[in-house]
Structure 1
Amino acid sequence: MNARVEKTTLAAVALQVGVSTPTVSKVVNGREDVAPETRARVLAALEQAGYQSPLQRRSATKAGTVVEVVVDVLTAAYTVEVLNGILQFAAGADVEILVSATGPATSRQSNPERRAQRIIDEGRAGMIVVTSAFSEAQLHAFRRRQVPVVVIDPLNPPPADVVSVGATNWAGGKAATEHLLELGHRRIAYIGGIERAECNQARLHGYMAALAAHGVPVDPRYVISGGRFRRDSGTAGLKALLKLDQRPTAIFAASDSIALGVLSEAARQGIRIPEDMSLIGFDGTTQGEESVPALTSVAQPLEEMGRAALRALLRQARGEVLDSRRVELATQVIVRDSTAPPAA
């Protein structure tokens, strides 16, 4: 269908439904500023007319469906488990997954227009971005070309019309802190990851909310910005906390990787976990489960997050209208061996 025929089809549908051609165009492009009843009538008329979006027509000419997945690093346990979920769903849906590890700096510096056009030229159905910092310009370049993008745990909040998948980070941060409070801890520290990251901010605010609910003031000396969701953030964070006159009796680490860094540094410093200091992480990865002592953690449904992201992307590629563009999956505190009541 060439551009002139496409324009004629949209105009004909607009006349049939009794709306303007720009309104039909909004429905075709997945815009949200159309009344649900009007959207349903337009979609029915488009289907009756046999109209296909540009992305649907591109997909129909390809032998198979290929989805690109962009990750920060491939070595993180978090990323591996999310990828497992994506690959599991892809196997059942006969979808090929292409993985690229770019790092956040590369993602920010790449040419948005060129990258979006490459996705089209190479016949990809769309892109899933895992924890990378995609800019507004990059996401806009994809939207203008009608290329579906789904972001998982984005570092910066995505635009309202971009589908994002994550966990209940605020509720998880609150539950982690409440677990420590219920054990009797009052001097509880928070070691965060990337400070600006949306998930980090939500976990920190959950931590603060739990303390406030129990009448415990937030001590700013106990809030450490790790800079990254990596082990070295936990190592540096514990070193900073040990310099205080009054050390915390428990630590809430914003990721399992940070918690494992705390655990290794505690062993070097002769601090026993949990006898001298309790420790809880966030992610629920197998690395935390296999650590010594086994790590208490707020488990995210990481594999399900991967499956949900691919499911949403494929629905967009088929031209379906999603009920919600924000998917939040529930977290759960998994109590293991690294938390206990504070020493007398």
Structure 2
Amino acid sequence: MSSSNATQVTSTRPAQRDAGTARRVRLSDIARDLGVSTATISKVVNDRTDVAEDTRRRVKDALAAAGYRKPNAGQTTDSAPLIDVIFERLDNVWGLEVMIGVEQEVRERRLGVVITESGDRGGSPAAWLDAVIARNPLGAIIVTSDLSEADTERLAAHGIPIVLLDPSGDPNPSAASIRADNWSGGLTATRHLITLGHRKIGIITGPMDMMCSRARLDGYRAAIEEANIPFDPSLCIEGEFKMASGLECAKQLLDRPDQPTAIFACNDLMAMGVYEAARVLRLRIPEDLSVVGFDDVQTAALMGPPLTTVHQPIREMSVEAVRMLLAMREGRHRPGGTIIPTSFIVRGSTAAPGAE
């Protein structure tokens, strides 16, 4: 595999030079001005053929008008027949569902997959980013995380497109991203419990610096307000999308004289923790406590009782991420986000309050 060739665009106009050093130009600025993606700018700079002729001409005209040039012209590289999938941590069944979807799609296209753990959100991406660039894949799928503008540009400069799958933040509108309709999922889950007769409904959110967590909480609040139930912030506890977190948060919610009759856990792993808390406290599900999850991972239907949950089409989202990535390589995908609808799966973990 040949090594990647970094692309920088520099100004040749004397008025924009500082002590003889060419000024580095932001690919995103040019892309924004022209209304195209940063990856498209990079393709033109790298003389790639998969760009519409009209777009290529507009990009070249803009670069020429600005007096920009590409250093090390003439050096080209071929991408490896690989797709990189970058997780913060691959330690749960949600990640397994993602990989099942990715593998399903790449197998049909005879492509390889490389899985990388980037570490906790907020950490430095340098190590894994260097590795991705060295592999020079067809593209990268960034799972439940975000990239800084500088890191996005760095990948784009090497002609490596990216798709954000379930991004943690609010990505640039021009970024390629796929997410589930988290707000509607939270609304539907809470409405279900209200329809059953529950009025004191606890919620265990994910980390509140993640947009999916905020959206699911907003859906919960919308359903509560729709039913004219006073919002009680003490019934809202921030979790970490892990089983142990669900256990500890559920104990807090249930260790009160006016304990909730239902808990909406904002992912299935935390719902498993709620089940364990109920077992420890000798509460029966659903007779004493109704539980709703979110994701519908494989194990949700196998819990005792089977878990009522919001079905997030994780595999379908992963398949679409691969297709979107390859469409970007071919210049067929317009930048922007895609929101996939959720559905609601009623199983045995919910019932009317005090049902026997």
Q: Deviations over 1:132-158 (max 9, x none)?
A: 353444334323444211111112222
- The DSSP-based 3-state class of the residue aligned with 2:89 is coil
Output the amino acid matched with 1:255.
N
Work out whether 1:66 is the aligned partner of 2:78.
Answer: no
Work out whether 1:336 is the aligned partner of 2:347.
Answer: yes
Percent identity between matched residues is 33
| Cα separation, 2, equivalents of 1:211 and 1:72 | 33
Structure 1 position 121, deviation (Å): 3.4
**For 1:69-80, what aligned pairs fall within 5 Å after superposition?**
69-80=85-96
- The DSSP-based 3-state class of the residue aligned with 1:186 is coil
**Greater fraction of residues in helix:** 1
Work out whether 1:123 is the aligned partner of 2:139.
Answer: no
- The DSSP-based 3-state class of the residue aligned with 2:123 is helix
CA contact (8 A) 2:116 2:128 kept: no
Work out whether 1:204 is the aligned partner of 2:217.
Answer: yes
Change (3 A) 1:138 1:22: closer
Q: Deviations over 1:202-234 (max 9, x none)?
A: 0000000011111111101100011x1100111
Structure 2 match to 1:109: 124
Q: How many residues align?
A: 304
CA contact (8 A) 2:146 2:164 kept: no
CA contact (8 A) 1:176 1:252 kept: yes
Q: Deviations over 1:247-268 (max 9, x none)?
A: 1111100000000010011111
User: Which of residues 123, 144, 147 is equivalent to 1:134?
Assistant: 147
Output the amino acid matched with 1:97.
V
Structure 2 match to 1:180: 193
Structure 2 match to 1:171: 184
User: Which of residues 194, 216, 233 is equivalent to 2:207?
Assistant: 194
**For 1:244-255, what aligned pairs fall within 5 Å after superposition?**
244-255=256-267
Work out whether 1:81 is the aligned partner of 2:97.
Answer: yes
Work out whether 1:223 is the aligned partner of 2:223.
Answer: no
| Cα separation, 2, equivalents of 1:173 and 1:99 | 30
Output the amino acid matched with 1:211.
I
CA contact (8 A) 1:174 1:210 kept: yes
| Cα separation, 1, equivalents of 2:354 and 2:282 | 16
Structure 1 position 116, deviation (Å): 4.5
CA contact (8 A) 1:81 1:302 kept: yes
CA contact (8 A) 2:37 2:174 kept: no
What TM-score, normalized by structure 1, do the two folds share? 0.80
Structure 2 match to 1:268: 280
**For 1:276-291, what aligned pairs fall within 5 Å after superposition?**
276-291=288-303
Give the superposed CA RMSD. 2.9
- The DSSP-based 3-state class of the residue aligned with 1:216 is coil
Work out whether 1:148 is the aligned partner of 2:146.
Answer: no
CA contact (8 A) 1:136 1:158 kept: no
Output the amino acid matched with 2:349.
S
Unaligned runs of 5+ in 1: 4-19, 32-38, 47-56
Superposition misfits of 4+ residues, deviation over 6 angstroms = 20-25
- The DSSP-based 3-state class of the residue aligned with 1:104 is coil
Structure 1 position 22, deviation (Å): 11
CA contact (8 A) 1:116 1:147 kept: no
Structure 2 match to 1:319: 331
